[in-house]
């Protein structure tokens, strides 16, 4: 078959860069992805990060127990800022959870083949981010033990939820998004789990991966329905991924609070979500490809494409920030005008300018190709964007609530140590799940990568 | 390659022939071979590839799946459920008005209509892919073949089932051997497949039954009565550490939970300046009752008093103050009726104008206190009638008393003349 000399030099010339770099065949692609799952002992750095993440996760569980036992007073939430950090964290995490399905679904529909290197990775990230997101409103309701009241479940009180409230729309949007993302992810995983099953050397692995692979045999008739199903899920997920953050933005936009009551919120939130999601994918993918030696599958070309998306969505977000100011002036509503002057110059100006610098200014460096292909620069920008997008939600939630129509009811929000530690703990949850995923499941979609390799295409003319 | 039957010697189990499988190492060869098998007219056969090979559907003659139609049905079901659910729950079964919005309006339903459409369509897609592919199917004869394990790695296979009507061991093998395959092998399957483990079946049934136990306990509690207090898992605010007004407090020496006003303090709005004391209380600073009106006495003020008396006092005392208001008249009638259950608490209102009555001799300060604080069964009117109106009423009461008990000699000469003339 093909010559397997492992040179990692990118192909020069006019042809588009190869999606799998170096001379690889199907077997070596399988080998490089499965090796990570099959190696006896993960890299030392894996244990180091996992230990920290697990400690943070255990702290989160402890804090949730403390919160439930004591009450939401352990947070800094206080009138007028009754939403506080838990909702900031919720919007932050659910935003991050957008990149996965965007890469899987929208780029799939647009036939962007470069997605195959990163889609599995990004989908896993989506699911874990949505889990972190779902946690916060769940514990924010105060009486956690009646959280099931959020759903229309028949009950002895003969009550039903109020369907004209955006908060209920949110319950449906986030839970639908989680379910569909999980199905999409698992459906994509089935053929790759079957690969691991067939390579299994121990009985335990054979049984566990065998059960998870559902008996997949890669039959052409199965592939036919599978591909159609995958396309349908992509088509369903595309409007879904755009709708989820739109519905999250309704939580704000449908209220009458200055700074929230604005029609730009749905597109602005969606652009911000994609922006933050891609930044998080980069933050995770850059170390992972180095540690696990899969630079030929997640290539510098993949990273550059993601940096372009970050530049584009960062400019959309910057445009939304400026349009908000324009409308505050042009709309002639004095409360709206005040809300925005207060954001930029009021007591939370530090938060506003942190957001603007991280989200609007820092990605501008990606206008230069050198920067787009530089690992240190893209890591710095990705982390800055993650920080900036957290501050964006902080600015939206906190500044608007803290100063509304009535100056006598203004306040200044101060987080407690529990607020801060719970945010840290949510990162623990996220990284614990993500590291387990890296250890036990194929982090690159093996079958999809093979599909975009030149060997996968018919050379002869068939009829 | 077909001498694999000696595998049977390794295992004691009895095997039977299932079909044959051919191996290929690139997409072009397997697609060519597929075209051959398709043209030969086989129906029970399949190709196995590590990834979806584009062009193989035509080469095999695979018809398009009906999955999209199932998904459409799933999506429409979700849409219908969303509309009916929101309408029935918020407009029929539990209607309540929120922010003046209509009980049911389509725009407010759109987000959940969309979400449930997508949710049910996605679930249908997932379940549809598995069901149409007959998955999960954890056991299959092909899994017995060691070489077939590369079907998920880098090799391509064509498997033809012996159950195919055209199948013949020699011809079919020759057909596959005629392609550029790396080799053709027999696929064997267990003649007497082991039954599904009984332990798992009974364990599963037992687990299902166990899940009914908590439900049964809850159902029993719902439909039976008990003299024990309900089990409160979460107390919410049902029992709070607080004292109610009439409860004994062990904390205070006097045992009163409801605390009296602290000496030397006043509630907001209760402060009265010394010079206003007579006007507001009817009592002078030295404690004596007021005898001089603290308001300007005028015909207009007296008229005001007549009007206010008609509103507040006349229902019992009557418009001329003799004590024959409608309430009093009705009470007397009820009292006269022996069937009235209990009328013994009724106290007749006093007449303002009876020359022998108490009211005639009372000071205006005393009258003001009576209106303000009530007397016997008469309630306090201080909260309903402003002080100035109370004084106006007293002014009019004084006029009534004068007019009902006037001496002829006290009249002006003009009035005496007018009476004589008549």
Domain span at residue A162 reads 26-456
Which helix (H) or strand (E) segment is B287 a member of? none
Summarised one tens digit per residue, pLDDT across range B117-129 is 999 999 999 999 9
- Please tell me which of the candidates B89, B133, B149 has its beta carbon nearest to residue A225: B133
Rg (CA), chain A: 23
Please list every residue in chain A whose beta carbon sits closer than 8 Å to the beta carbon of residue B128: 225, 229
**Hunting for tokens 């007004």 — which residue is that?**
B245
A149 in contact with B, Cβ within 8 Å: no
CA A320 to chain centre: 21
Taking CB atoms and an 8 Å limit, are A228 and B65 in contact across chains? yes
- Enumerate the residues of chain A whose CB falls inside 8 A of the CB of residue B57: 220, 224
pLDDT at site B13: 67
CB spacing of A240 vs B118 below 8 angstroms:
yes
Could you tell me if residue A171 is inside a domain? Answer: yes
What dihedral do alpha carbons A124, A129, A130, A132 form, nearest 10°?
Answer: 130
A222 vs A190: CA distance, rounded Å:
12
CA B326/CA B241 separation, integer angstroms:
50
Q: What is the pLDDT of residues A155-187, one digit of tens each?
A: 878 899 999 999 999 999 999 999 999 999 999
Interface of A with B in 276-335 (CB under 8 A): none
**B414 pLDDT band (50/70/90 cuts)?**
confident
The pLDDT value given to residue A325: 92
* Orientation angle between helical segments A26-38 and A166-199, nearest 10 degrees: 110
* DSSP H or E run through B105: none
* 3-state secondary structure at position B375: strand
Place of tokens 């399957």: B189
Give per-residue pLDDT as tens, A96-148: 988 788 877 888 888 888 888 888 888 999 999 999 999 999 999 888 888 88
The distance of A215 to chain B (nearest Cα, Å) reads: 4
CB–CB of B149 and A199 under 8 A? yes
CB neighbours of residue B253 within 10 Å: 7
User: Is the pLDDT score of A16 beyond 70?
Assistant: no
Instruction: Evaluate if residue B342 carries a pLDDT over 70.
Output: no
The DSSP symbol for B23 reads E
> CA B146, CA B194: separation in Å to the nearest integer?
20
In whole angstroms, what is the distance from residue A316 CA to residue A96 CA? 16
Q: What is the mean pLDDT of residues B345-366?
A: 88
CB B293 within 8 A of CB B364: yes
Position B422 scores a pLDDT of 62
Here the tokens at position A447 are 């079958």
Task: Search chain B and give the residue with CA nearest A194.
Answer: B152
Q: Which of A198, A243, A247 sits opposite B149 (nearest CB)?
A: A198
DSSP type of residue A130: H
| CB A6 within 8 Å of CB A20 | no
In 10 A of CB B265, how many CB atoms? Answer: 7
Give CA–CA dist A212/A186, Å, rounded: 9
Tell me, yes or no, whether A137 lies in a domain: yes
More confident site: B221 or A51: A51
**A4 pLDDT higher than 60:** no
User: Distance between CA atoms of A108 and A234, rounded to whole angstroms?
Assistant: 7
Facing residues of B48 across strands? A219, B157
C-alpha closest to that of B325 among B312, B335, B338, B337: B312
Is A18 within 8 Å of A390 (Cβ atoms)?
no
Closest C-alpha among B294, B271, B270, B295 to residue B284:
B294
Asked if residue A13 belongs to a domain, the reply is: no
Read off the CATH number of the domain in which A257 is found. 1.20.1630.10
Q: Are A421 and A85 in contact (CB under 8 A)?
A: no
CA dihedral of A450, A451, A452, A458, whole degrees rounded to 10: 110
Total domains in the fold of chain A: 1
CB neighbour class for B75 (10 Å; exposed up to 12, middle 13-18, buried from 19): buried
> To which H or E segment does residue A164 belong?
none
pLDDT the model gives residue A7: 41
According to the model, what pLDDT value does residue A210 have?
93
Q: How much is the average pLDDT of B358-369?
A: 91
Q: CB–CB of B68 and A457 under 8 A? A: no
Q: Is the pLDDT of residue A261 over 70?
A: yes
How is residue A111 written in tokens? 């036939």
Residue A86 contacts residue A136 (beta carbons within 8 Å): yes
- Distance between CA atoms of A440 and B153, rounded to whole angstroms? 18
Give the range with max mean pLDDT: A37-46, A383-392, B30-39, B400-409: A383-392
| Contacts A459 to B, Cβ<8 Å | 28
CB-CB contact of A97 with A276 (8 Å): no
> A463 lies in a domain?
no
Q: Is residue A249 part of a domain?
A: yes
Structure-block tokens of residue B366: 């005393």
| Nearest Cα residue to B370 out of B393, B348, B354 | B393
Cβ contact B28–A458 (<8 Å): yes
Both tokens assigned to B414: 């003009």
In the DSSP assignment, the letter for residue B348 is P
**Interface contact A225-B222, CB threshold 8 A:** no
- How near does any CA of chain A get to the CA of B93, in Å? 8
CA B30 to chain centre: 61
Q: Are the C-beta atoms of residues A317 and A276 closer than 8 Å to each other?
A: no
Q: What is the pLDDT of residues B220-263, one digit of tens each?
A: 888 888 888 877 787 777 788 888 878 888 888 988 888 888 88
Please report residues of B whose CB lies closer than 8 A to that of A211: 138
Any idea how long chain B is?
Answer: 422
- Could you tell me if A294 and A121 are in contact, meaning their C-beta atoms sit under 8 angstroms apart? no
Q: Regarding the domain delimited by B275-421, which CATH topology (the fold level of the hierarchy) does it fall under?
A: Cytochrome Bc1 Complex; Chain D, domain 2 (1.10.760)
**Residues of A in Cβ contact (< 8 Å) with B55:** 458, 462
What's B283's DSSP letter?
A: B
Kindly tell me if the per-residue pLDDT of B180 is higher than 90. no
Q: Where are the domains of chain B?
A: 1-192, 275-421
Residue of A nearest to B56 (CA): A220
Say how far apart CA B285 and CA B213 lie, in whole Å: 79
Mutating which of A156, A196, A221, A227 best tests the B interface, going by the most B Cβ atoms within 10 A? A221
- pLDDT band at residue A15, thresholds of 50, 70 and 90? low
Put simply, whether A437 touches B (Cβ < 8 Å) is no
Average pLDDT estimate for B366-381: 92
A16 occurs within a structural domain:
no
Q: pLDDT tens across A445-458, in order?
A: 999 888 888 888 88
A21 inside domain: no
Predicted ipTM of the assembly: 0.91
How far from the centroid of its chain's Cα atoms is residue B184's Cα? 67
A214 → chain B, closest CA residue: B136
Tell whether A241 lies on the interface with B, counting CB pairs under 8 A.
Answer: no
């Amino acid at each position: 078959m093909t010559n397997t000399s492992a040179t990692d030099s990118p192909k020069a010339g006019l042809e588009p860069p190869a999606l799998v770099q170096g001379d690889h065949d199907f077997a070596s692609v399988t080998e490089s992805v499965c090796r990570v799952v099959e190696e006896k002992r993960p890299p030392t750095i894996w244990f180091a990060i996992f230990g920290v993440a697990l400690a943070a996760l255990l702290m989160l569980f402890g804090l949730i127990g403390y919160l439930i036992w004591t009450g939401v007073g352990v947070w800094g939430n206080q009138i007028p800022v009754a939403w506080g950090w838990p909702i900031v964290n919720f919007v932050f995490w659910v935003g991050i959870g957008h990149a996965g399905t965007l890469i899987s679904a929208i780029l799939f529909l647009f036939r962007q083949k470069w997605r195959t290197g990163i889609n599995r990775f990004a989908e896993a990230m989506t699911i874990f981010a949505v889990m972190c997101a779902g946690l916060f409103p769940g514990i924010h309701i105060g009486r956690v033990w009646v959280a099931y009241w959020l759903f229309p479940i028949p009950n002895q009180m003969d009550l039903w939820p109020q369907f004209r409230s955006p908060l209920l729309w949110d319950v449906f949007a986030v839970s639908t998004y989680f379910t569909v993302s999980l199905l999409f992810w698992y459906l994509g995983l089935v053929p790759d789990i079957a690969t691991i099953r067939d390579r299994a050397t121990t009985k335990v692995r054979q049984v566990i991966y065998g059960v998870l692979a559902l008996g997949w045999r890669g039959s052409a008739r199965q592939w036919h329905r599978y591909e159609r199903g995958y396309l349908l899920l992509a088509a369903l997920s595309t409007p879904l991924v755009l709708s989820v953050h739109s519905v999250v933005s309704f939580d704000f936009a449908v209220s009458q609070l200055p700074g929230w009551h604005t029609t730009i919120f749905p597109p602005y939130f969606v652009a911000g979500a994609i922006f933050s999601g891609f930044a998080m994918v980069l933050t995770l993918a850059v170390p992972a490809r180095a540690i696990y030696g899969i630079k030929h599958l997640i290539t510098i070309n993949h990273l550059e494409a993601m940096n372009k998306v970050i530049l584009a969505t960062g400019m959309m977000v910057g445009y939304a920030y400026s349009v908000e100011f324009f409308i505050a002036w042009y709309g002639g509503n004095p409360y709206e005008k005040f809300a925005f002057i207060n954001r930029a110059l009021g007591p939370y100006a530090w938060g506003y300018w942190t957001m603007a610098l991280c989200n609007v200014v820092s990605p501008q460096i990606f206008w230069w190709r050198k920067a787009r292909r530089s690992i240190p620069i893209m890591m710095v920008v990705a982390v800055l964007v993650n920080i900036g997008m957290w501050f964006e939600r902080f600015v939206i939630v906190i500044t608007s609530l803290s100063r509304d129509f009535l100056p006598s009811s203004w306040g200044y929000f101060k987080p407690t140590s529990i607020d801060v530690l719970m945010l840290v703990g949510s990162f623990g949850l996220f990284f614990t799940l993500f590291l387990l995923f890296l250890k036990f499941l194929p982090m690159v979609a093996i079958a999809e990568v093979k599909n975009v390799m030149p060997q996968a295409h018919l050379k002869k003319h068939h009829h | 390659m077909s001498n694999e039957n000696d595998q049977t010697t390794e295992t004691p189990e009895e095997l039977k022939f299932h079909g044959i499988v051919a191996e290929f190492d690139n997409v072009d060869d397997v697609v060519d071979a597929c075209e051959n098998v398709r043209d030969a007219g086989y129906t029970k056969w399949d190709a196995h590839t590590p990834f979806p090979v584009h062009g193989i559907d035509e080469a095999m003659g695979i018809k398009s799946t009906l999955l999209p139609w199932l998904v459409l049905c799933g999506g429409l079901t979700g849409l219908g459920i969303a509309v009916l659910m929101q309408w029935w729950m918020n407009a029929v079964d539990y209607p309540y008005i929120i922010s003046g919005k209509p009980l049911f309006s389509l725009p407010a339903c759109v987000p959940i209509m969309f979400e449930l459409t997508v949710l049910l369509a996605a679930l249908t897609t997932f379940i549809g892919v598995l069901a149409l592919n007959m998955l999960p199917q954890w056991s299959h004869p092909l899994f017995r073949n060691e070489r077939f394990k590369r079907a998920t790695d880098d090799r391509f296979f064509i498997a033809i089932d012996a159950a195919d009507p055209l199948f013949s061991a020699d011809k079919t093998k020759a057909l596959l051997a005629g392609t550029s395959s790396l080799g053709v092998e027999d696929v064997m399957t267990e003649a007497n497949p082991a039954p599904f483990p009984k332990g798992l079946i009974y364990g599963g049934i037992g687990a299902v039954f166990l899940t009914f136990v908590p439900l049964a306990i809850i159902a029993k509690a719902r439909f039976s009565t008990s003299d024990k207090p309900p089990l409160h898992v979460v107390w919410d605010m049902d029992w709070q550490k607080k004292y109610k007004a009439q409860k004994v407090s062990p904390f205070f020496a006097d045992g009163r939970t409801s605390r009296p006003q602290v000496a030397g303090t006043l509630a907001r709005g209760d402060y009265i300046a010394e010079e206003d004391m007579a006007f507001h209380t009817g009592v002078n600073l030295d404690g004596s009752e007021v005898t001089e009106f603290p308001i300007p006495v005028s015909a207009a003020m007296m008229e005001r008093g007549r009007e206010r008396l008609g509103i507040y006092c006349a229902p019992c005392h009557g418009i001329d103050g003799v004590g024959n208001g409608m309430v009093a008249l009705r009470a007397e009638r009820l009292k006269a009726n022996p069937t009235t259950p209990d009328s013994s608490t009724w106290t007749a209102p006093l007449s303002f104008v009876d020359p022998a009555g108490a009211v005639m001799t009372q000071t205006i300060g005393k009258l003001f206190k009576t209106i303000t604080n009530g007397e016997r069964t008469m309630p306090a009117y201080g909260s309903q009638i402003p002080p100035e109106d109370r004084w106006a009423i007293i002014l009019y009461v004084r006029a009534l008393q004068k007019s009902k008990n006037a001496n002829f000699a006290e009249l002006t000469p003009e009035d005496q003349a007018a009476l004589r003339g008549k």
